[in-house]
Amino acid sequence: MRQHVNPLSRFFQLPLSLPSNSILFKKSHYPIHLDIGSAKGEFLIELASNYPNWNFLGLEIREPLVSSSERKRKQLGLQNLKFLFCNVNISLDEWLSDLDLDQLKRVSIQFPDPWFKRKHLKRRVFKKSLLNSIARYMSKNGELFIQSDIFKLIEYMTTSIDDSIYFDRKVVKGEKWLEKNPYEVLTDRESFVLKHNLPIYRAMYIRNSALFLNYN
């Protein structure tokens, strides 16, 4: 499996019409946890198994990983979980706009590709436009959880969110970085990093009551 794909290539710039929430889930009125960059899907598979009264959607730009995750989901018979292939910066906003008011309760972005070279920074998944989409459709008090083992990347992400008027950073015991994953389920990358005793930087943001104003 190729570790990275170029999201700016012509193929990944084609917009996709994602199936509506009512088509994806049997009980479409449940609150939604959206995981951006779901990779092998194990994180959401465990959450969906543990929380049957939530719907979980994993979005991934590497299509073979989506196919593999979907096979595992079907084998387990999880009807509150779905994995879809797309470039979120091209196709997500339209899907979010069809959700019921206050339905999007959680968004997680975990260990996104860092794209270290300066000329490649524009390939990063986390952009101001993506943050705007999340802010526009997330319910008040909804959670935006991010984590990475790359400090420069998480610093870039937290600076962007901190500069937003729509999210408040959750601080625990005076520490801005969370000690543990609040969902108590580890991603594959998270397990790998912890096994090698390397640091992980985690932050939780809460959607405040500020009305969305498009400031693109």
Domain residue spans in the chain?
Answer: 28-207
CATH number at 28-207: 3.40.50.150
To the query of whether residue 113 is one of the catalytic residues in this protein, the response is yes
Is 110 in contact with 37 (CB distance < 8 Å)?
yes
Active-site choice (93, 102, 113, 168): 113
pLDDT one-digit tens code per residue, 143-152 = 999 999 999 9
Q: Write out the chain's pLDDT in tens, 216 residues.
A: 446 677 656 656 677 889 999 999 999 999 999 999 999 999 999 999 999 999 999 999 989 999 999 999 999 999 999 999 999 999 999 999 999 989 999 999 999 977 445 655 566 778 999 999 999 999 999 999 999 999 999 999 999 999 999 999 999 888 889 999 999 999 999 999 999 999 999 999 999 999 987 655
Distance of CA 23 to the CA centre of its chain: 20
**pLDDT tens by residue, 151-200:** 999 999 999 999 999 999 999 888 889 999 999 999 999 999 999 999 99
